[in-house]
Amino acid sequence: MKMAGIPFQTVDWKDVETTEHAGLSGKALWRTRHFGEIRVRMVEYTPGYVSDHWCEKGHVLLVMQGRLDTELADGRKFTLIPGTSYQVADGAEPHRSSTETGAILFIVD
Protein backbone atom coordinates (compact mmCIF):
# COMPACT_ATOMS: atom_id res chain seq x y z
CA MET A 1 0.00 0.00 0.00
CA LYS A 2 1.47 3.29 -1.06
CA MET A 3 0.23 6.32 0.84
CA ALA A 4 0.69 9.46 -1.24
CA GLY A 5 -1.07 12.79 -1.61
CA ILE A 6 -2.71 12.68 1.81
CA PRO A 7 -2.20 15.84 3.87
CA PHE A 8 -2.02 15.60 7.64
CA GLN A 9 -5.47 15.56 9.19
CA THR A 10 -7.27 14.20 12.22
CA VAL A 11 -10.54 12.25 12.39
CA ASP A 12 -13.02 12.33 15.25
CA TRP A 13 -14.72 9.01 14.52
CA LYS A 14 -17.88 9.84 16.48
CA ASP A 15 -18.57 12.56 13.88
CA VAL A 16 -18.32 10.20 10.88
CA GLU A 17 -21.67 8.98 9.51
CA THR A 18 -22.53 5.35 10.28
CA THR A 19 -23.68 2.91 7.61
CA GLU A 20 -25.33 -0.39 8.53
CA HIS A 21 -24.42 -3.72 6.90
CA ALA A 22 -26.41 -6.85 7.74
CA GLY A 23 -24.65 -10.15 8.38
CA LEU A 24 -26.17 -13.63 8.37
CA SER A 25 -27.02 -12.57 11.90
CA GLY A 26 -26.32 -9.30 13.65
CA LYS A 27 -25.03 -6.24 11.89
CA ALA A 28 -21.86 -4.29 11.17
CA LEU A 29 -21.86 -0.53 11.73
CA TRP A 30 -19.19 1.16 9.61
CA ARG A 31 -17.74 4.64 9.97
CA THR A 32 -15.70 5.07 6.79
CA ARG A 33 -13.24 7.63 5.46
CA HIS A 34 -11.37 7.46 2.16
CA PHE A 35 -7.90 8.89 1.71
CA GLY A 36 -7.00 8.52 -1.97
CA GLU A 37 -7.21 4.78 -2.68
CA ILE A 38 -7.06 3.87 1.03
CA ARG A 39 -10.22 3.10 2.97
CA VAL A 40 -10.06 3.53 6.75
CA ARG A 41 -12.92 2.28 8.92
CA MET A 42 -14.02 2.06 12.51
CA VAL A 43 -16.35 -0.96 12.51
CA GLU A 44 -18.63 -2.17 15.28
CA TYR A 45 -20.01 -5.71 15.11
CA THR A 46 -23.09 -6.26 17.25
CA PRO A 47 -23.20 -9.30 19.56
CA GLY A 48 -24.03 -12.41 17.54
CA TYR A 49 -22.69 -10.98 14.26
CA VAL A 50 -21.80 -13.54 11.58
CA SER A 51 -20.44 -12.39 8.21
CA ASP A 52 -22.59 -13.20 5.19
CA HIS A 53 -19.63 -13.76 2.82
CA TRP A 54 -16.03 -14.89 2.43
CA CYS A 55 -13.91 -11.76 2.04
CA GLU A 56 -10.94 -11.71 -0.32
CA LYS A 57 -10.00 -8.06 0.26
CA GLY A 58 -6.70 -7.36 1.98
CA HIS A 59 -6.84 -5.62 5.36
CA VAL A 60 -4.88 -4.51 8.34
CA LEU A 61 -7.36 -5.04 11.19
CA LEU A 62 -6.90 -4.14 14.87
CA VAL A 63 -9.37 -5.20 17.56
CA MET A 64 -10.09 -2.24 19.84
CA GLN A 65 -12.80 -3.82 22.03
CA GLY A 66 -14.54 -7.17 22.35
CA ARG A 67 -13.62 -10.47 20.76
CA LEU A 68 -13.42 -11.36 17.06
CA ASP A 69 -13.41 -14.88 15.65
CA THR A 70 -11.98 -15.15 12.14
CA GLU A 71 -12.11 -18.28 10.02
CA LEU A 72 -10.05 -18.88 6.88
CA ALA A 73 -11.45 -20.85 3.93
CA ASP A 74 -8.84 -23.57 4.60
CA GLY A 75 -10.45 -24.20 8.01
CA ARG A 76 -8.00 -22.40 10.29
CA LYS A 77 -9.62 -20.30 13.01
CA PHE A 78 -8.26 -17.38 15.01
CA THR A 79 -9.59 -15.47 18.01
CA LEU A 80 -8.53 -11.86 18.40
CA ILE A 81 -8.91 -9.77 21.54
CA PRO A 82 -8.21 -6.07 22.17
CA GLY A 83 -4.71 -5.12 21.09
CA THR A 84 -4.35 -7.97 18.57
CA SER A 85 -4.45 -7.62 14.80
CA TYR A 86 -4.33 -9.54 11.56
CA GLN A 87 -2.89 -8.57 8.22
CA VAL A 88 -3.78 -10.25 4.91
CA ALA A 89 -3.15 -9.34 1.27
CA ASP A 90 -5.77 -8.93 -1.44
CA GLY A 91 -6.80 -12.35 -2.75
CA ALA A 92 -4.42 -14.19 -0.40
CA GLU A 93 -6.71 -16.13 1.94
CA PRO A 94 -10.49 -15.84 1.97
CA HIS A 95 -11.70 -15.07 5.48
CA ARG A 96 -14.90 -14.37 7.38
CA SER A 97 -15.59 -13.04 10.84
CA SER A 98 -18.05 -13.51 13.64
CA THR A 99 -18.42 -12.44 17.26
CA GLU A 100 -20.56 -13.71 20.10
CA THR A 101 -19.88 -10.71 22.34
CA GLY A 102 -19.53 -7.85 19.83
CA ALA A 103 -16.37 -6.09 18.75
CA ILE A 104 -15.00 -2.71 17.71
CA LEU A 105 -12.35 -2.82 15.00
CA PHE A 106 -10.05 -0.36 13.25
CA ILE A 107 -9.49 -1.46 9.64
CA VAL A 108 -7.27 -0.11 6.88
CA ASP A 109 -7.67 -1.47 3.35
Could you report the per-residue pLDDT of 50-63, keeping only the tens digit for each? 999 999 999 999 99
Contact 71, 95 (CB under 8 A): yes
The pLDDT, as a whole number, for residue 4 is: 86
The pLDDT, as a whole number, for residue 46 is: 98
* Closest alpha carbon to 30 in 69, 58, 61, 2: 61
Assign 2 a pLDDT band (cuts: 50, 70, 90).
confident
- Summarised one tens digit per residue, pLDDT across range 20-78 is 999 999 999 999 999 989 999 999 999 999 999 999 999 999 999 999 999 999 999 99
Instruction: Summarize the confidence of residues 2-22 as an average pLDDT.
Output: 94
- Domains in the chain: boundaries: 18-108
Contacts with 15 (C-beta within 8 Å, 6 or more apart), sequence order: none
The pLDDT, as a whole number, for residue 81 is: 98
Run of H or E residues at 41: strand 38-45
Question: What is the pTM for the complete model shown?
Answer: 0.93
- Max CA pair span of the chain: 41
Whole-angstrom distance, CA of residue 12 vs CA of residue 91 = 31
Contacts with 7 (C-beta within 8 Å, 6 or more apart), sequence order: none
| Domain 18-108 -> CATH class | mainly beta
